[in-house]
Amino acid sequence: MNTALIEFNGFHDECLHSQVDFLKTSKKNKVFLICNYRLKDRITYWNKIDDVLFLGSNQWGIGYIKIVQFLRKHNISRCVFNSIHHPSAKRLLNIASRKRKYFGIVHDRNELLRKNNRKVNGYLFLNDYLLNGIDSFVKPNVKTNSYYPIFFQDSILLNIKKASEEIWIAIPGKMQQNRRDYNTLLHSFKNGTLNKNIKLIFLGQSIFKNDHGQDIRKEFEKYDANNNCIFWDKYINPNTFDTYMKMSDFVLPLIHTDHSTSKTYQDKISGSFNLAFGFNKPLIMDSFFKQFNDFRDNGLFYNCEGDLVSQINKLVVCKPDNLYKDTKWTYKYQCKNYLEFIE
């Protein structure tokens, strides 16, 4: 069967690799990619893709015609929108043939509520907890399920030194206040009591326009007498990113119930979650998340009203064998789950 994966954004490529891999487990499947040209240098598994159509961000008017022609040329029988809530997905569906099946990956339930499309046969949500109360988001005759894109493309690990006594805590993503509550960590970090053997790996770009990442960074640097913090100025290449993720002992999302992030991440997930799942790292989380099985079984919890640094100082590195023991974390389970859904 010929399947087209469609991504209009210049990001969310982390959700594509698992899908390509799953589809290619059957020799019957051919995989075609329609995506923003910005993903060209971020994807390494071109040998698994049968053909690709690149389009620029400002070319979607002409691009719709090109996409329809591409779908016809390759006799595409099903399409999976990697970001179904993107405005261009809705526009393309308006002119797309009803003879195909269409599925969508949902990154934000609220966006889906506003942009539900009658041609979509099913929606895949990026975590089980997003399925709670799903009846208010989709029609009864539309299929829904969860999907965990936690199998990443291969990377080349770098030779980075880490002392045996060090504990590395990864805080992935751009330094943006609307995505993480840095202030709660900063408030207790200012006391200068974080153990010297603990490294806070701010694994994302910290200097960019239209935000205050550099201001957050300056505050941490101001009080970083023990050299606990590691920062990056610009975009981190995949090999560097993956190396630090694999060498980290914990993932700290910094999502808190008394911060704007609390409401946001009730309807979508943080990329930190899937990174922790994919790299089999325990999460350090606000106790709010203890109610969900994924986190309760694979996380350590704190009350964000307390001193976060003092709680971090008590961390003991977890044995990998004690984490992610449920079958849902296996490649076999996720592959079967995905393929059966889009049949």
In the block, tokens 């694999």 appear at 246
Q: Measure Cα distances from 275 to 18, 74, 283 in Å.
A: 13, 34, 10
pLDDT of residue 112: 79
pLDDT of residue 60: 62
pLDDT of residue 184: 94
Exposure class string for 129-166: b at 16+ Cβ within 10 A, else e: bbeeebeebbeeebebbbbbbbbbbebeeeeeeeeeee
Q: What is the distance between the alpha carbons of residues 241 and 203, in angstroms, rounded to a whole number?
A: 7
pLDDT of residue 58: 64
Report residue 288: phi and psi, to 5°.
-55, -35
Tally of CB atoms within 10 A around 45: 14
pLDDT of residue 100: 97
pLDDT of residue 57: 67
This prediction has a pTM of 0.94
Instruction: Note whether 46 and 153 are within 8 A (CB).
Output: no
Per-residue pLDDT of the chain (343 residues; tens, 9 = 90+): 999 999 999 999 999 999 999 999 999 999 999 999 999 999 999 999 999 999 986 666 778 999 999 999 999 999 999 999 998 998 899 999 999 999 999 999 988 776 667 899 999 999 999 999 888 888 888 999 999 999 999 999 999 999 999 999 999 999 988 889 999 999 999 999 999 999 999 999 998 876 667 889 999 999 999 999 999 999 999 999 999 999 999 999 999 988 887 788 889 999 999 999 999 999 999 999 999 999 999 999 999 888 999 999 999 998 888 899 999 999 999 999 999 999 9
